[in-house]
């Protein structure tokens, strides 16, 4: 006799199986949700263990990896490349965020860098050609012979290069402190040291393992037409130890010793002590030569030209050059490597960690007709 179940029993059995499958699926989804919540709680817990500075912006993942992995713990697997490539392709290089900050602060501190011509080089063997004599021409009649005219001459500029360095340090305890703004501190320390050294070298550098400052270039009293290339022209002040009785006339002569093309964009450069004396100069009718800036952010002017304060310029003294006037964008060239490198040294000076930063910088007078000097002499 055939054994069969009623239709109602079969339907109930199928319904029970379907409910069991649905329950299993719901349980699996719940387990997945639990695992996700657990993972989020773990991430929050790890973040809470190292709280961020109050009000500080969250750093980029690349910068955070560089700071936590290399500067703080010295893990070489987390070196950051200045090129912006992956971490494994790095080197001992400052991250892009810090390098950009250094450049901005250098312009604010080193005035010659802000007004000179800057080129980025790939090697220390940078060269530049300067045309020292244009092609000549002449007038002839329609059928006259055309004799040969002079051709242009060139001189080579090779700015002396030197390695600029800074070596700030911090204790390991400071690096471990979560409230310590490592990026701002490192950038400020390096920028201050670089600006101090550059500001002096661009003005008075000897050219030996450092830039050749424009005050270290040869000087002469002859004009542009007969003076040797690379030699700066100077004018005397009319007094052996200072300015004569009509100093404003000497400054006017200094301005107009510069070619008119260079006067477009020219600047006075002097230190604050010399500037204090110059601000007291008056014309014959009693008006001050000094003109303060009319708007915020505009430089003060002397005879209509901006004045830049550079503390590395010499004071007023016998045979000194306390005042320079010229178009430094055309007259002085700064050549530098693009990359600022930084080496973390936790071993040499325990318990301090040194950050040895270096950068190659060079400089030299580019066009000697574009800069004029005032010399203190009778």
| Domain 215-332+369-375 class in CATH | alpha beta
Pick 61-132+149-207+336-365's CATH classification: 2.60.40, 3.30.70, 3.30.2400, 3.40.50.
3.30.2400
Q: Is the pLDDT of residue 268 over 90?
A: yes
- Residue 278 banded pLDDT, cuts 50, 70, 90: very high
More confident position, 13 or 322: 322
Question: What are 156's two structure tokens?
Answer: 């080579």
User: Could you report the per-residue pLDDT of 15-32, keeping only the tens digit for each?
Assistant: 666 677 777 777 777 677
Backbone dihedral angles phi then psi of residue 41, each to the nearest 5 degrees: -60, -40
Per DSSP, the three-state class of 25 is helix
Q: Which range among 79-83, 196-200, 217-221, 290-294 shows the weakest confidence by mean pLDDT?
A: 79-83
Backbone dihedral angles phi then psi of residue 225, each to the nearest 5 degrees: -70, -30
Q: What is the mean pLDDT of residues 332-336?
A: 92
pLDDT for res 259: 93
Average of per-residue pLDDT values in the chain: 79
User: Could you report the per-residue pLDDT of 129-146, keeping only the tens digit for each?
Assistant: 777 776 778 888 888 888
Backbone dihedral angles phi then psi of residue 6, each to the nearest 5 degrees: -65, 155
pLDDT for res 344: 83
Q: Is the pLDDT of residue 5 over 70?
A: no
Annotated domain spans of the chain: 61-132+149-207+336-365, 215-332+369-375
For residues 90 and 65, what is the distance between their CA atoms, to the nearest angstrom?
A: 12
Residue 87 exposed, middle or buried by CB count within 10 Å (0-12, 13-18, 19+) = middle
Q: Which of 58-62, 80-84, 326-330, 348-352 has the highest mean pLDDT?
A: 326-330
- Residue 80 banded pLDDT, cuts 50, 70, 90: very low
């Amino acid at each position: 006799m055939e054994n069969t179940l009623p239709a109602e029993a079969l339907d109930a059995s199928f319904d029970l199986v379907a409910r069991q499958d649905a329950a299993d699926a719901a349980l699996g989804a719940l387990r997945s949700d639990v695992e996700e919540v657990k993972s989020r709680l773990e991430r929050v817990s790890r973040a809470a263990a190292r709280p961020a500075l109050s009000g500080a912006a969250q750093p980029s993942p690349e910068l955070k990896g560089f700071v936590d992995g290399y500067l703080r713990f010295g893990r070489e697997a987390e070196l950051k490349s200045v090129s912006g490539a992956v971490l494994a392709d790095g080197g001992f290089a400052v991250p892009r965020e810090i390098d950009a900050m250094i450049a901005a602060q250098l312009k604010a501190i080193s005035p010659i860098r802000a007004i000179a011509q800057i080129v980025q080089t790939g090697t220390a063997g940078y060269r530049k050609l300067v045309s020292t004599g244009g092609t000549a021409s002449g007038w002839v009649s329609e059928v006259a012979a055309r004799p040969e005219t002079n051709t242009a001459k060139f001189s080579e500029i090779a700015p002396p290069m030197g390695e600029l360095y800074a070596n700030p340090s911090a204790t390991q305890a400071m690096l471990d402190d979560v409230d310590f703004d490592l990026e701002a501190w490192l950038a400020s320390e390096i920028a201050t040291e670089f600006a101090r050294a550059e500001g002096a070298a661009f003005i008075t550098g000897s050219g030996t393992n450092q830039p050749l400052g424009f005050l270290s270039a040869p000087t002469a009293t002859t004009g542009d037409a007969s003076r040797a290339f690379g030699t700066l022209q100077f004018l005397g002040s009319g007094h052996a130890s200072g300015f004569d009785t009509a100093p404003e006339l000497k400054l006017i002569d200094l301005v107009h010793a510069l070619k008119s093309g260079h006067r477009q964009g020219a600047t006075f450069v002097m230190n604050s002590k010399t500037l204090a004396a110059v601000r007291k100069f008056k014309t014959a009718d009693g008006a001050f030569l000094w003109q303060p800036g009319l708007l915020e952010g505009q430089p003060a002017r002397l005879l209509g030209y901006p004045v830049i304060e550079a503390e590395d310029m010499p004071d007023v003294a016998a045979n000194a050059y306390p005042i320079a006037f010229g178009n430094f964008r055309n007259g002085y060239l700064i050549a530098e490597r693009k990359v600022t490198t930084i080496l973390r040294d936790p071993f040499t000076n325990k318990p301090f960690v040194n950050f040895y930063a270096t950068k190659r910088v060079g400089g030299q007078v580019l066009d000697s007709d574009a800069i004029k000097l005032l010399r203190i002499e009778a």
